[in-house]
Every structure is written in C-alpha cells, then in structure tokens.
A and B are shown apart, each in its own frame.
Chain A
Amino acid sequence: MTAGLTPVTDPGPVVDGETSKRRGWGWLLLVPGMLWLAVFFLFPTVQLFFTSLYDPSGSYEQGYAMTWHFANYVDAVRDTWDLFARSFLYAGITTLVCLALAYPLAYAIAFKAGRWKHVMLVLVIAPFFTSFLLRTLSWRTILADQGPVTDFLQTIAILPDDGRLLATPVAVIAGLVYNFLPFMTLPIYASLDKVDHRLVEAAGDLYASPFTGFRKVTFPLSTPGVVSGTLLTFIPSSGDYVNAQLLGTPNQYMIGNRIQSAFLTEHNYPLAASLSLILMGIVVVMVVAYVRRAGTEDLL
C-alpha cells in the first residue's frame, strides 16, 4: 500500500536494490554464524525431538531406550493442556496490555517529545539494565499483602479487605507486562519515527479529522513495528516461568514452570522434551499465521 505513496516520500537511493547486490563469494560471510546456529541450535532441536520419543519408563541415571514412543506427546498434552492454555492466555493478555501502554508511549516519543525525544528514549531503556530478577523481586514487595498498592486498592474499595494482589493472575500478568514493555515500545517507536509527517498533513488537508488521519495513515504505517513488537512480547512471555514463580503460586504456573521442573528437578527428559517441542511448535505456527495475516512476511 505504500507503493502508491512513494512519490511523496524521499526517493532515496536510485540504485535498484537487486543490482546493487554483488554475486560471488559474499555468502561465505554467513558460514561461521550459520555453523554456530547449526551446531548449537538446529542439532540440539533435532536431538530434542529424538529425546521426546524415548521410552518414558527409563530414568536419568539408567539411561533411556529409544522406542519411538509417540505416546509421550499424547501423555504430555493430556496432563498439561491446562498449563498450555494458561500460558497462551497470560501471554495474550500481556501482549495486549503492553500494546495499550507502549503505543501511546512510542507515539509520544516519536511525535510529541520534541527535543526531549532522545532523553525519553533513554528513559524507556534505562530501567531494563537493572537485573530482571531484582526488578521482579521488587514488584513482589510492592504488590505484597501489606504493601502500598494493596493498601491503596483496599482503601478505595476496588479490592476487598481480605483481597490480595500477590499470588494472583493479576500479579503474574503485571510482572510479565513490566518485563516485556520495552520489547513492544522500541519497535513501534522505530516504525512511527519513519512515518512521513507530510502524509499525515495531507490527510488533514483532505478533511480527515486527526483521529481519522491516525486511523487511516499513521497506524497502518506503524504496523511493522506493532507486528514485531507483539512477537517480541508474546514469544518470551509464553515461555516465561520466572514471573509465575516469583509473583504467583502453583495455581498460576505456566508451561515454562512445568518444562523447567521436568528437566531440572524430575530429570524426566522425554516428558520435558515433548513439552518443549509442543510449545515451540505452537509458537512457530502462531507466529507464521500471524505474520501472514498482518502481511509483513519480509520480517521473517
């Protein structure tokens, strides 16, 4: 859709993208990085697939027999579908809340901050250089039963007197939102920053109200940022287990908690492997479907 608008924007380099690329041996630059990905990412993933088919009656100490036990997947889904459902529900809500908070922030930085633009950008990133665990632990204190937020909400009667925030889904989702907010803000800002002001003005000249101008011009131009922001928020939050563990109870545990304990505590590798692959599979399918739908395949 931007094709029809290009004459308005800066024509940019006149050189055609394809002809400026050189053929030849340039692909060799890819080799070292690709080897790294092949050895430490693709190979372990394939191996994880084999692990997921081991006979579950084996154990970490005695070793596992390879029996192509596909029933592991059926067992895994039967036992933990509620955790999967909760993970994707929490991740979905987290993504929406992040979008609702990050869009105005990114918009303010791109269009309203003026000479304070870079300062605000720095302020977006700055809190996230402090350890993520320390920040989550301080939320734990802030949201605690005798903490300021709970007291305030009880005073204004939003929360019943015996109500609590910590150890509820609200606390877990609040933690996730907090942790992944910059991953939403920065890509949206990057897209908004590229929006040509003249296009918005043109919409105004053609009698679009500011809101219509936003809806028909600014927002569509920012979709690449919204798409990559939602992905960068949704993917890590669906697999997170730290927030559920620190801010919730086992009733709020997500699939990451289960995978973590199956691997590190129970040493039940076939179960952990099949859960991991199911999670990865669902995420990849959702991401591809979403990116297709949003029409931004070039992100991939």
Chain B
Amino acid sequence: MTATVPRDQQTRERPVATPVAPRRSAVRWLADHIVLFIGILVLVYTFVPIGYIFALSFNQPTARSATAQFEGFTWNNWTSICEPEGLCESLQLSIGVSITATILATVLGTLMAFALVRHSFRGRSASNLVIFLPMATPEVVMGSSLLAMFVSVGVDGLLGFVTLVIAHTLFCLSFVVVTVKARLAGMDTRLEQAAMDLYANEWQTFRLVTLPLAMPGIVAAAMLAFSLSFDDFIVSNFTAGQSVTFPLYVYGAKLKEFPPQLFVVGTIMFLVSFLFVIAGEIYRRRRAAALR
C-alpha cells in the first residue's frame, strides 16, 4: 500500500511516528489482521461437519446408533463400502447422471454464452431473461413442474436415468451460461484480431486462440455443473421415479438404519474433490511460473 507514497514524504513522516510506534503498531497489526481471523473462523466453521463425517467413517456402531456418537475405532467401514444394499448402485447411477448432464449442460451452455457475448441479434434481453428464470425458480417448483409434465405426457413409466438427466441438465444449464459468459466478457478480443491479422482463418482463430482463452471458464462451469448435479436432492426426489441416486439413498437411509459406510463415501468425495482442486492449483502455479 505504501508503494505509491512518494519517498520524500515517507522519510518526512517517519521520525514523527516513532515515539508512539509500539502501541500503534500493535493496534495496527490487529486492525490489519482482524478480518483475516474472522475469515479463518468462518472457514473453520464450514469444516466442522466434515470433521464429524471423517471421524464417523471410522466408527464401529453398536446397534442403530451410527449417526449418534463415536463408539469405537474400526477400518471395517472402509473395506466394506459396497456392503449396504444398493449403496454402490446408487453411486453408479449418480455418477452416470452427473457426467451425462454435465456434458450436455456444458456444451449447450457454452454455445449459448458464445451467442450472447459474441453476436448481436434481436431478442438478446429476452433470451437472457429466459436463461435467468430457472435460477430464480426454487428447486421444489422446478422439480414439481417437471414431474407434472412427465406424468401428463405419459412417460412416468420411464422415470429414472432419462428424466434425471433432463432435469439435471436443465438446472445446470443457466449456471454454465452465466459462468462462461463472465469469462468471455472479460476476454481481450484484440488477441483474436491479432490472430486474424496473422492470416489465421476463423476456425484456426477459434481453435488456437478463442477456445484456449475461454477454457478456464468452461472447465469451471463443468465442475460447477457436476457438483450441482451430483449433490442434487430436491429435483431428483421428484424426477427419479423408482431409481435411487446417492443423495436419495442417504435420505432413505436416514429414515431407516444409517450404514456408517455413507460417511466413508462422504469422506472419499471430499478427498477426491480436494485432490482435484489441489492438482489444478499446482498446475496453475507451474504455468504461472513458466510464463514469468
């Protein structure tokens, strides 16, 4: 912060500030760091349930108290993840639905974002409104209207993978458009003009300049879509029919006895995503170092 203060001014001020410096600097230090402390406290708070889930994944439950308290340490839950009936099937279904919905939503949403940012046409603001509306719709409304439609069109026999993918793509789509749009809007179009000036044709410019520049936004959008889809309970509850995704399985287990393996899955989900993000961060740092 002091970098912009002219040097002569700094030297002029310094002798005056010295006598009160110790007390002032302590207050100063506290004032400077209090926000950081509050921020770290908030972060700690968000990790409390994660710690709980992690600890309970090693719990040896007695009778039906798996959710209640820690009874004894065991590795068994980690070695018998698929033992509770239907758990691994539900994970498989969730992964399948999320991957399909993520691909669909990312492709459709990226195309829409390009159209909205790079092209001018009539009805742009109307299109923006239509894209915004699903985000302003509470999930319970979206799920119920989809269910009502599936029932009235007479495909309620097909409720399952297909209807889940339709619904998940729908609520991910708007988030993808918004995320990619933000990236495209911040991009310097002069780079593409430079490519064209250097005799790249439209397709080469797109493939070698535009797409790589837009990629971080597209990847972020896809990750967001995957996590929204994988974790979705409310819309899935309406559109899944008889099939059971992982969140639906957890919800069903809550009503019956609660297998501790669910905490193992929760811990693994946390660790896998953590590894992904850390790998991304290492990649980012290496690139930044290479470009420096």
B118 touches A130 (CB 8 A): no
A210 vs B32: C-alpha distance when bound (angstroms) = 10
User: Would A44 and B146 be within 8 Å (CB), given that A256-B138, A283-B137, A300-B128 are in contact?
Assistant: yes
B 117-149 binary contact with A (CB < 8 Å = 1; else 0): 111110101011111111111111110111111
A246 vs B42: C-alpha distance when bound (angstroms) = 23
A18 vs B177: C-alpha distance when bound (angstroms) = 20
A29 vs B181: C-alpha distance when bound (angstroms) = 14
| Chain B binder among A67-75, A137-145, A162-170 | A137-145
The verdict on B73 contacting chain A, using a C-beta distance below 8 Å, is no
| Chain A binder among B11-19, B75-83, B164-172, B210-218 | B164-172
User: Would A112 and B49 be within 8 Å (CB), given that A126-B274, A133-B254, A256-B138 are in contact?
Assistant: no
B152 touches A27 (CB 8 A): no
User: What's the dominant secondary structure at chain B's contact region?
Assistant: helix
The verdict on B263 contacting chain A, using a C-beta distance below 8 Å, is yes
Q: How many interface contacts (CB-CB < 8 Å) are there between A and B?
A: 281
Residue on B nearest A201 in the bound complex, by CB: B4
The verdict on B290 contacting chain A, using a C-beta distance below 8 Å, is no
A21 touches B118 (CB 8 A): yes
The verdict on A238 contacting chain B, using a C-beta distance below 8 Å, is yes
B138 touches A280 (CB 8 A): yes
B278 touches A107 (CB 8 A): no
B148 touches A134 (CB 8 A): no
**Interface size of B by Cβ–Cβ distance < 8 Å?**
98
Contact of B190 among A13, A33, A190, A280 (CB under 8 A): A13
The verdict on B33 contacting chain A, using a C-beta distance below 8 Å, is yes
Residues of chain A with a CB closer than 8 A to B40's CB: 108
Restricting to B16-31, which residues have a CB under 8 Å from any CB of A?
31
Residues of chain A with a CB closer than 8 A to B265's CB: 131
B 43-85 binary contact with A (CB < 8 Å = 1; else 0): 1011111101100100000000001110000000000000000
Nearest CB on B from A185, distance (A): 8
Residue on B nearest A298 in the bound complex, by CB: B128
The verdict on B244 contacting chain A, using a C-beta distance below 8 Å, is no
User: Would A130 and B53 be within 8 Å (CB), given that A29-B111, A40-B170, A112-B35 are in contact?
Assistant: yes
Residues of chain B with a CB closer than 8 A to A119's CB: 281
Nearest CB on B from A210, distance (A): 8
Nearest CB on B from A281, distance (A): 10
Interchain Cβ contacts under 8 Å between A and B, 23 examples: A13-B188, A13-B189, A14-B190, A27-B123, A29-B119, A33-B131, A37-B173, A40-B170, A44-B145, A48-B141, A104-B35, A105-B38, A113-B39, A129-B231, A133-B250, A137-B258, A139-B49, A197-B1, A231-B136, A256-B140, A269-B148, A280-B137, A287-B136
Q: A239-B139, A256-B140, A280-B141 are in contact. List 17 more A-B contacts (CB 8 A).
A: A13-B189, A21-B117, A21-B119, A26-B119, A29-B114, A32-B108, A47-B145, A47-B152, A124-B46, A127-B50, A129-B274, A130-B49, A130-B266, A235-B138, A256-B138, A263-B147, A276-B144
